[in-house]
A = this chain, B = another copy of it.
Amino acid sequence: MSEVKISEARISEVRTKAALAKEAAAAMNLATTKEKNEALLKLADALIAGQDAILEANAKDIRSGEANGTSSSLLDRLRLNPSRIEGIADGLRQVVELDDPIGTVLESFDRPNGLHIEKHRVPLGVIGMIYEARPNVTVDAAGLCLKTGNPVVLRGGSAALESNRVIVELMRQALADTALPADALQMIEDANRSSVDEMLKLNGLIDVIIPRGGASLIQNVVLNATVPVIETGAGICHTYVDATAEPSMAEEIALNAKVQRPSVCNAMETLIIHSAYAESRLAAMAERFREKNVELRGCERAKSLLPWIKSATEQDYATEYGDYILNVKLVDSVDEAIAHIRRFGTMHSECIVTETQANAERFLAEVDAAAVYHNASTRFTDGFEFGFGAEIGISTQKLHARGPMGLPALTSTKYIIKGNGQVRG
């Protein structure tokens, strides 16, 4: 994947901007924590100062969205107002407060031949962010990438194009007045899907692609990228209520996992219940979900206890509803619960509610997921809830980073070896 072929290829917006980002990598690599923090504060100020221009551009996006029949929930994510812009700028200021992982020496050792070897944290390089029409992600991603010394190429959803254009222009202008190169921040304006496809194959210019968004966006990236990807997202999460679960705790955890925010990836999609618990307690649990307008879909055994609910199909168990719908599945053992999760889970977040320590231990050891919980809601899988102070996404893959990704997930390492003439025999 040598860079030598660059000059032979066609020149497009994507390639040009990625090449500028790559050029900026060397300076970003050397930027000090102080320089990076000063730059982030200037970006925050620039967004506040440029608020009118942002709101004007955002109004255009909203009008286009309305004209195109965009759903009200998408419009809500797209819409900015002064308090949201203030919140976005505050997010940058919070990143300033976080420890800079770059430059940390992770290991240091001496070899018998006298070589001194150190493993240093370094930036990942150029990060390609592909995401949906959420202008706050534009700023979040820029802040986290710059703090970790990484140039970033942003490709947001076309519905936020006007907002993002103004936001990025304000941030690039602000960068020009800092020690960081303005070219470390690039935004792809080409709204065609082909610009995403091109980013996915820019080995040598983009070091890592991070997709953020719905299942189809992520699937497209995973299936088509030749650049390494950090997969984020899809969550078919389960809560297993064991025979000995404390009933009020089980109900609170299950309700929280489903209804506190059903649209997010760490929300529960299927409630697995031990038959011994279900016999005496499922009716009460179901009543609480009914109060919250959650539609229940059950296995045959669940339906025999709750004749009024629909049947859950295999496809239902494999669906991330992101909505007020919940599958209910009865089992006779923790093994059966684990087997169901192994089959249908997406290795995101899984929970057991039990007072039987041995069952908790088996569940925590045997369920293969980014986060496994005993007696707590799956909704805690989140960089802020984990105390990382930031989150670039939640990795659902096993390479590089798994679970909530804070700043260290945006770094790589490099071995530095010091000798005095050693050669290999």
List the interface of chain A (C-beta within 8 A of B): 1-4, 25-26, 29-30, 109, 111, 115, 117, 122, 124-125, 203, 207-208, 219, 222-223, 226, 228-231, 234, 236, 246, 249, 252-253, 255-256, 260, 314, 317-318, 342-344, 346, 364-366, 368-377, 379-381, 385-387, 397-400, 402-403, 412-424
Contact = CB atoms under 8 A, between A and B. Distances in A.
- The A contact surface, by secondary structure, is mixed
A386 B112 CA distance: 10
Given A2-B318, A371-B414, A422 B376 contact: yes
Contacts of A253: 421, 423
Given A366-B26, A400-B400, A415 B372 contact: yes
Given A26-B366, A369-B414, A374-B418, A386 B111 contact: yes
Contacts of A375: 418-422
Contacts of A343: 3-4
Contacts of A386: 111, 117, 415
Given A371-B417, A417-B374, A398 B208 contact: yes
A111 B109 CA distance: 33
Given A26-B342, A111-B386, 18 more contacts: A1-B219, A29-B365, A30-B365, A111-B387, A115-B376, A222-B226, A228-B398, A249-B421, A253-B421, A255-B423, A371-B417, A373-B417, A374-B419, A375-B422, A376-B419, A385-B424, A386-B415, A399-B399
Nearest to A234: B1
B417 A412 contact: no
A414 B402 contact: yes
